[in-house]
Amino acid sequence: MKVQIRYFASIREALGPGESIDLPAGSTLGALRDTLIARGGSHGEALARGRALRAALNQVMADDSAALADGAEVAFFPPVTGG
């Protein structure tokens, strides 16, 4: 399945505005984050498990257990963002 990812604030500065990724069916938000972290480099640093990070699935706040579906939009951002 294909998922669209959007990055905001400091994460956007590190990784750009977003990307698409193919994942196995039945993947969760946590599995997506782990897949991105495993890339290492900027992805590993910006999305590291030790960093405070929020996520939204289809514009609704979600946690790592949220199930992803084909065509889903995931957004990653720091807990506080400016306008």
Q: Which domain holds residue 20?
A: 2-77
Report the CATH number at residue 69: 3.10.20.30
**Domains held by the chain: number:** 1
Q: Is residue 23 domain-resident?
A: yes
Residue 83 falls inside a structural domain = no
The answer as to whether 66 is a domain residue is yes
In a domain, 63, yes or no: yes
Tokens of 67: 């199930």
Q: How far apart are CA 30 and CA 28, in angstroms?
A: 5
pLDDT digits (tens, 9 = 90+) for 8-51: 999 999 999 999 999 999 999 999 999 999 999 999 999 999 99
pLDDT category at 81 given cuts 50, 70, 90 is low
